[in-house]
Amino acid sequence: MSFFRFSGAFCLICVAVASFVSPVQAQTKATKTSLAYVIDQLYPPIPDLQERPYKFRIGMVVGVVPAFEGSSDLRFRYSPLIDVTYRDRIFLNTNRLRFNFMPKGRIRAGFQLKYHSGRKERLTEDLKGLGDVGASLDAGVYIEARIFKGTVISADFSHDIASGHKSWIGKFLLGQGLYQDDNTLIGAGLETHWAGGGYMNTYFGVNAAQSAASGLPIFKAHSGFKDVGLLLYWRQDLTKHISLVTNITFRHMLDSANDSPIVIQRGNPKQFISSFAVRYAF
């Protein structure tokens, strides 16, 4: 089947997903926000296990994301991209730094640092009374494996060593390639995030002071899986150096995140993310 048929089918899927979530998330506003949040939400999470001695890519990503985790508002956001690889050992992806201890074969594993900028109360009226969440620096381990042709699994587990959520957080992804040729890659994936009680209470809990200031009921969150998502991914190489990347993700909040009054009364458990990026590889 030709590339145009695959790309057309992919676009139809994206439109269908967008139409499903748009009735509950109709507001789309331009807003200023932190770089780390943009990259976390918009940058395609499918691991790239191609072995290249050196890789340097820059670009720009634009898209729409929830104003905060659990928000019902979609906001337009944009950010520069930086992607640097050194001998398949060191990876810098804008707000994440990884050191790979297994540079050969189908498995990567090692140590990572990831920066999160937190959450600002002034971002939206829905956060009024909840206060700011400080920035975090998550330090931990990760593993990525190509288990057979077209299938990739990845997991990472980190703890905040700064002053943000001061807790554990993990991410698990199963990615499957649907079509690939010399210039095109189309794939899909399932992802989920697990978070410790500190993270869940920081972002979804409501203490007595916050309740008095916001009007929301007191709510204590507990550790558990906070969301599950389906993602669609499309990369098209236009030339040897220039690539276009599209990413569509639909997530649903789980457990304490789904039960939080922040989400129930001021947001929506259905989360939609859409992005488009242009990358230039040196």
Provide, for the chain, the percentages of residues in helix, strand and coil under a 3-state DSSP scheme, each rounded to the nearest 5.
20, 50, 30
CA distance 75 to 124: 10
Per-residue pLDDT tens digits for 232-242? 999 999 998 99
CA distance 64 to 267: 16
Least confident of 10-14, 120-124, 134-138: 10-14
CA distance 273 to 253: 14
Record the tokens describing residue 93, joined without a space.
């992806």
Percent of the chain residues topping a pLDDT of 90:
55
Mean pLDDT, residues 29-43 taken together: 49
Locate the domains of the chain by residue range.
Answer: 3-281
CATH entry, 3-281, from 2.60.90.10, 3.40.50.920, 2.40.160.40, 3.40.50.11540: 2.40.160.40
To which residue do tokens 């890789």 refer? 55
pLDDT at 53: 66
pLDDT at 147: 84
Per-residue pLDDT tens digits for 48-106? 655 566 788 899 989 899 999 999 999 888 888 888 888 888 988 878 899 999 877 78
What letters, b where the CB count within 10 A reaches 16 and e where it falls short, cover 198-235?
A: bbbbbbbbbeeebbeebebeebebebebbbebebbbbb
Q: pTM here?
A: 0.82
Strands of 68-150 (E only): list them. Answer: 74-86, 90-93, 96-100, 107-116, 136-148
CA distance 134 to 227: 22
Mean pLDDT, residues 163-179 taken together: 92
pLDDT at 27: 43
To which residue do tokens 């007191």 refer? 218
Record the tokens describing residue 230, joined without a space.
């389906």
Average pLDDT value over all residues in the chain:
83
CA distance 274 to 250: 9
Q: Is the pLDDT of residue 10 over 70?
A: no
